[in-house]
Amino acid sequence: MRLEDASRIDFVLTLRRRWADTLYPVLAEQVEAAAGDDAAAVADGLPLHDWFAWLERGSQKMLWRATQDTVLANGSETTPSAAKAGGGLDLDPGLALPDWYTDWDIHVQPGGIWRNRQTAEVYELGAKLVMLGENDDYTFHTLFAETAVPKRDYHRIIDLGCGFGKSTWPFARLYPDAEVIGVDLAAPCLEMGHQKCGALGLPVQFLQRDCCDTGLDDGSMDLVASTMLLHELPPEPLAQTIREAARLLAPGGLLRMLDFRYTGDALRNHVLTGHSARNNEPFMPYAMAADTMEICEATGLMNARWVAFDERPHSPKPGRQDELIWPPRTDWHFPWAVLEAEKPA
């Protein structure tokens, strides 16, 4: 990467860090000092909230522009070499991508992630950066695979909405005896994942399928997982995806889906709802309002619940608990949580 490109990216990341760890705490202090009954209304009336909102979207656009220019100038440094071993790639040229998927530049990334190899490369580099620069080796996704999924013998694992495999290859590394499958709509991302896993010697099977209807056999999976998928889905595809996950699970199989949940803190909830508009994620409020536990139970899954997930790799991990309880923090952070459920044995 050229020095000028690295410098642009570093500037934007520093700006976004100060947005999260400096601007947000001051906003929270101003809302608390106003002592109003409606924190959202109080926040909307503060000039600092307008700056906070503007900076979130503006810095996100700056980040994608810097990432796009870097890929155009240098080629993605993370572009994997040709596949060398194992795995497979099954693309479906006739698969019709749904309008809700193609009509939005999700995450404000120009062109989305599904158009061509270049947009997939921009997404791959950007995925390392959007976590405020703390995801250089996809630590976030590895942490999910290592800490949110019980250690056991899995014969078949499927990662729904896998993208280019950033949460798929951690499963292949952790469970080398398991058959690991990644499913996504975006063919360019699947091609990248296939090549990456081939270069790593990880025999992952990548399939271009709709997560609502994978076409795979009933009861064929011991673990169905996803990261950051549910909040990208409209209400009916969300419910269909959970029903599909339940259909795929073998008796005793586990469901683990990482996504956002409201914290109960009025200001954080308000900022998270605003994020959905500022980051071109229109279905997020519907996903967080959906009764996903009821959907799970209606499919025959049991013990459905949400468990808080702390994305900081060196922070103490909370024990399994029935409530969503995040560690106290003053900075702005996305309230990650894992939807857990299991298929009766």
Question: Counting Cβ atoms within 10 Å, is residue 291 exposed (0-12), middle (13-18) or buried (19+)?
Answer: exposed
The pLDDT of residue 78 is 45
Q: What domains appear along the chain, each with residue ranges and CATH number? A: 3-342 (3.40.50.150)
Task: Determine the average pLDDT of the residues in 188-203.
Answer: 92
pTM of the model: 0.92
Is the pLDDT reported for residue 39 higher than 50? yes
The pLDDT of residue 81 is 45
The pLDDT of residue 82 is 45
Q: Which of 81-90, 151-160, 280-289, 298-307 has the least mean pLDDT?
A: 81-90
The pLDDT of residue 324 is 74
Which residues, 6+ apart, have CB-to-CB distance to 325 below 8 Å? 308, 318
List 305's β-bridge partners, or say none: 340
95-104 pLDDT, tens digit per residue, is 999 999 999 8
